[in-house]
Amino acid sequence: MVTVNEAKQKVIANSKVLSIETRGLADALGYVLAEDVIATISLPSFRQSSMDGYAIIHTDIVKNGTILKLTGESKAGQTEVSEMISGNAIRIFTGARVPAEATAVIMQEHTSLVENEIVINEFPVSAGKNVREIGRQISEGAVALTQGTYLSPGSIGFLQGMNVNQVTVFRKPRIGLLLTGDELLKVGEPLVAGKIYESNSAMLIAALSQEGIFDIELKYADDDLDSTIQAFKELTENNDVILASGGISVGDYDFVGVALQVIGAEQVFYKVRQKPGKPLMFGKREEKLFFALPGNPASSLVCYYEYVLPAIRIMTGRKDPFLRSLKLPSKYAYSFDGERDEFLKALVEGDEVMPLDGQESFALRSFAVANAIIYLPVSQSKVESGELVEVHLLPF
């Protein structure tokens, strides 16, 4: 049995970034750049007004009440603008091209219009005021985004603004998901005594989808060794990460561990000193990773967030594999006995965190409203109200 920290370090050490691929920018959200993106143009590519107002030569403004002659207009999208001379002003709009001779833009709120003249009600006016100079964001030829950048909505917009239409990224893993258990019913089947509706597949597929992973192959296996071995063989053929839900404990009908040995998966660790999720197994075969998750839903989801998700993120090139962690005061006191660290389903509200009722490994109702997991090592087995605890924020 390994500690929580030892398990995480072994997962990280055995997870390798995947190969690269080229994707259209519209389909690259949530991917990680595999190489730098170089700016092919400057942003902005022309001198641009940041305000509605008037383009002027700032040295013309010698006092409040200076009068300038209005001689033209520049609107957004207009490619040509009139030349300016001292003593003149041009009406201009946000995003429009600033005439080469203009040195500043006065907000319209600081002017008064009288027929074809404007009265300036601001003094002094500094050079460059309200003017976005060429390359203010980035200059042509500079590194726009570096390798390893996670492509967020802001990244996508930034790159499209430079006419980038495709990027080189690390691909995302293909996931094989195996569900075991003769007691499981699929949604829509009639409920019979001794059977339960299987929920782990929907739960794990939803969690993977939240990470932008949709290439998921799902298989079911009966509670017998041959069925489990065959399912693993088929899933291993085309997938990078294979998740098994259930069948990893020590019962007479738990065949996942033996099946993984048969197909040649090396066991990296089995069992973690934690609650819930003790019977977690992690293995590998060449570059393929195997996670045998506990069958109890809450245990399975905790293990996904704490171990599977970091592995997946490393494979996709992310540099922040773990859930965001912070310290918050606990709203309630909490204590536990035993020699295993605990993960608690929790709700962050304002500047504190609340352990939820229903911490049993089978209970998903509390996970349904949780937005965080509290991690309590054995050394912090008695928590007082207001005491700081380690909180892992769930992705939303």
Structural domain spans, the chain:
4-18+172-315, 21-39+147-170, 48-132, 325-393
Write out pLDDT tens, residues 96-152: 999 999 999 999 999 999 989 999 999 999 999 999 999 999 999 999 999 999 999
Verdict on whether the full-model pTM lies above 0.85? yes
Cβ atoms of residues 210 and 217 within 8 Å:
no
- What does the mean pLDDT of the chain come to? 94
**Same fold: 4-18+172-315 with 325-393:** no
Strands 274-275 and 88-92, by their bridges, are: unpaired
At the topology level, CATH places domain 21-39+147-170 in Molybdopterin biosynthesis moea protein, domain 2 (3.90.105)
Strands 48-49 and 325-329, by their bridges, are: unpaired
CATH class of 4-18+172-315: alpha beta
Write out pLDDT tens, residues 140-174: 999 999 999 999 999 999 999 999 999 999 999 99
Q: Which has the closest alpha carbon to 31: 338, 313, 364?
A: 313
**334: exposed, middle or buried (C-beta count within 10 Å: 0-12, 13-18, 19+)?**
buried
317: region left, alpha or beta (phi > 0 left; psi from -120 to 50 alpha): left
| 52 vs 50: CA distance, rounded Å | 7
Provide CATH code, domain 48-132.
Answer: 2.170.190.11
Report the residue count for the chain: 396
Beta-carbon count within 10 A of 264 CB: 11
CATH class of 325-393: mainly beta
